[in-house]
Amino acid sequence: MSDYSIWVCEYSYVKDYHKSGVLYGAHNQGYVKLPYCYVVIKGRDHIAMVDVGYNDKEYGKHLGDKFGVENWRSPKTVLGAIGIKPEEVDTCFITHAHFDHFGNVEDFPNAKFYIQEREIAKWVWAMSLPDRMRWMMIAVDPGDIVRGVDLARDKRLVTVDGSLENVLPGIDLHAAFDSHTYGSMWVTVRNDGKEQSDDIWVLAGDLVYVFENIAGPGGAVDLEEIYTPVGLAVGSQTNLVMATEEMMKQANYEAKRVIPVHEERIKDVFPSRTTSEGLRITEICLADGETSKVTG
């Protein structure tokens, strides 16, 4: 029995992203394609998203010109490929406040948004620091926080302090403080609804970018594989490794069940297709009675 279907939907990508950004210490090892994706969870009369991407009107030209970000498509187009309208989304889990995860709340007019309280509070704190510490404010747009004020007004923003179970039936939130960002979180889906689930999916946000963050090369320490954290952390790589261990523990150490949304090779692990827009849809699992959106 599976309660939910889960799809990873690509909405844009960078062709040549330096590998050291996604994998700590991978200097001079070239570039990888970095897809920008969000996750759609459908079932139990809900449609939920993990992150909402960014709004191309605000950033598109700059990102295209300066960083080579290509082929941005709106949620209407991206979700349309799996038969969903943005207006049908009722819940959005924001794993962290970077512009490419929290930058498009306007396209989901009927959704309630969940974010860690600490992600907002530490933003206020970071903004108050001297200019020489400006690095600690990277990739957050004040405009996204301003739009958060509107969400709060409309009672569509919920700030969470740490873990929260059963936000939707069988879906839990888990905090990874001072890791990739100050108040990052990941989402677990217990797809059989059991407290001790045998069918759990971990949606890792940016706590895991690529497979090597979970199964990195361990030859240098005489091990086959070790956790190798992502490169970018305003918190610490230690906290990233600890969060990885916690996620893996929840997944009974089955690495396949920890889903990295920036991983291009996820298409080699799960059924996938490329849409007419040149963007990938990956089907992680299907709820009972749901039809595949990538095959047939």
**Which residues contact other proteins by CB under 8 A?**
14-18, 21, 31, 34, 59, 62-63, 66-69, 98-100, 117-118, 120-125, 127-135, 137-143, 145-146, 148-150, 152-153, 157-159, 161, 177-178, 206, 232, 262
Place of tokens 């045998």: 198
**Least spacing, CB of residue 152 vs other proteins, in Å:** 4
**Least spacing, CB of residue 293 vs other proteins, in Å:** 26
Q: Which is nearer to other proteins, 123 or 201 (CB)?
A: 123
Q: Which is nearer to other proteins, 115 or 251 (CB)?
A: 115
**Least spacing, CB of residue 232 vs other proteins, in Å:** 6
Residue 290: φ, ψ to 5°: -80, 145
**Least spacing, CB of residue 243 vs other proteins, in Å:** 16
For 13, the enclosing helix (H) or strand (E) is strand 4-18
Give me the residues paired with residue 217 across strands.
Answer: 225
Q: Which is nearer to other proteins, 157 or 200 (CB)?
A: 157
**Least spacing, CB of residue 42 vs other proteins, in Å:** 26
Q: Which is nearer to other proteins, 209 or 227 (CB)?
A: 209
- What are the structure tokens assigned to 108, written together? 């989901």
Q: Which is nearer to other proteins, 101 or 280 (CB)?
A: 101
200-203 vs 183-190, strand pairing mode: antiparallel
Interatomic CA distance for residues 17 and 57, integer angstroms? 22
**Least spacing, CB of residue 77 vs other proteins, in Å:** 20
112-116 vs 69-70, strand pairing mode: unpaired
Q: Which is nearer to other proteins, 30 or 289 (CB)?
A: 30
Inter-CA distances, 1 with 153, 179, 193, Å = 39, 34, 9
Nearest to 69 by CA among 236, 279, 213: 279
Helices 117-127 and 142-153 pack at an angle, to 10 degrees, of 130
Q: Which is nearer to other proteins, 147 or 293 (CB)?
A: 147
286: buried, middle or exposed (CB in 10 Å: 19+, 13-18, 0-12)? buried
**Least spacing, CB of residue 146 vs other proteins, in Å:** 5
- Structural contact between residues 95 and 101, judged by C-beta atoms closer than 8 angstroms: yes
